[in-house]
Amino acid sequence: QKEVEQDPGPLSVPEGAIVSLNCTYSNSAFQYFMWYRQYSRKGPELLMYTYSSGNKEDGRFTAQVDKSSKYISLFIRDSQPSDSATYLCAMIKNYGQNFVFGPGTRLSVLP
Amino acid sequence: EAQVTQNPRYLITVTGKKLTVTCSQNMNHEYMSWYRQDPGLGLRQIYYSMNVEVTDKGDVPEGYKVSRKEKRNFPLILESPSPNQTSLYFCASSLYGVSNQPQHFGDGTRLSIL
């Protein structure tokens, strides 16, 4: 079993839709959680990071962490065609700098 | 401009021929890391470095070597490449390697080992 699983996608939504992207993990040692966005032929870029269980909002993006269920989500409100990309969840253990990424979910927002 | 530069961007080579992929950052970052990205498997960390002369294995270090002799450079060395190392490789850096500091990624190096 992989340490981090992610909804495989691909996911296609109409412009303006609310998008939900999800990851689950198996190791309770993961304490820091991040979401990266990767455009085609580019390296990933950090969207959001969080440590605590609960919600964290940044503009149209909300990151949600449920440590008891080992489940994290990224919500995108009012999705735009420019949001079309692959979204990667990532996490690191409390005691190290070894980043573990999910396999990614490819999102297409159709105008 | 703050950036992570990888070279080459594309390389086709043959099994067993030693190769080096260079990575350089101009942000004075202490933390640097190498990843490989494969379909369905996502990004997997190969090696990372907390500072000069400090390196550690990630999840998939077999067949790779790294060195960190200077803060700005973190080359990835494949001593005897094999076809299973055909992949898209990314170098990244961040100030200290913790979650709230973004990792800046290069644009990737696509390696094909025949």
pLDDT band at A1 (very low <50, low <70, confident <90, very high): low
Residue of chain B minimizing CA distance to A98: B58
pLDDT band at A53 (very low <50, low <70, confident <90, very high): confident
Q: What local confidence, expressed as pLDDT, does residue A95 receive? A: 60
Q: What local confidence, expressed as pLDDT, does residue B39 receive? A: 86
Q: What local confidence, expressed as pLDDT, does residue B40 receive? A: 81
In percent, the amount of chain B with pLDDT more than 70 equals: 96
Q: How far apart are CA B47 and CA B35, in angstroms?
A: 7
Average pLDDT, chain A: 91
Q: How far apart are CA B44 and CA A54, in angstroms?
A: 27
Q: How far apart are CA B95 and CA A23, in angstroms?
A: 26
pLDDT for B99 beyond 70: no
pLDDT band at B88 (very low <50, low <70, confident <90, very high): very high
* Segment A4-22 mean pLDDT: 92
Q: Which residues in chain A are contacts of B2 at CB distance < 8 A? A: none
Q: What local confidence, expressed as pLDDT, does residue A51 receive? A: 81
* Segment B74-81 mean pLDDT: 97
How big is the CA angle at A80 (ends A78 and A84), to the nearest 5 degrees?
Answer: 125
pLDDT band at A52 (very low <50, low <70, confident <90, very high): confident
Q: How far apart are CA B114 and CA B112, in angstroms?
A: 6
Q: Measured between alpha carbons, how far is residue A111 from residues A37, A52, A84 in Å?
A: 19, 35, 11
Inter-chain touch A101–B108, beta carbons under 8 Å: no
Q: Which comes out higher in pLDDT, residue B20 or A41?
A: B20
Q: What local confidence, expressed as pLDDT, does residue B25 receive? A: 97
pLDDT for A97 beyond 90: no
How far does the CA of residue A41 sit from the closest CA of chain B (Å)?
Answer: 7
Q: How far apart are CA A42 and CA B100, in angstroms?
A: 21
Q: In terms of DSSP bridges, do strands A85-93 and A30-38 run parallel, antiparallel, or are they unpaired?
A: antiparallel
The alpha carbon dihedral of B90, B101, A92, B71 has a sign of positive
Inter-chain touch A44–B43, beta carbons under 8 Å: yes
Nearest to B103 among A32, A46, A100 (CB): A46
How far does the CA of residue B41 sit from the closest CA of chain A (Å)?
Answer: 5
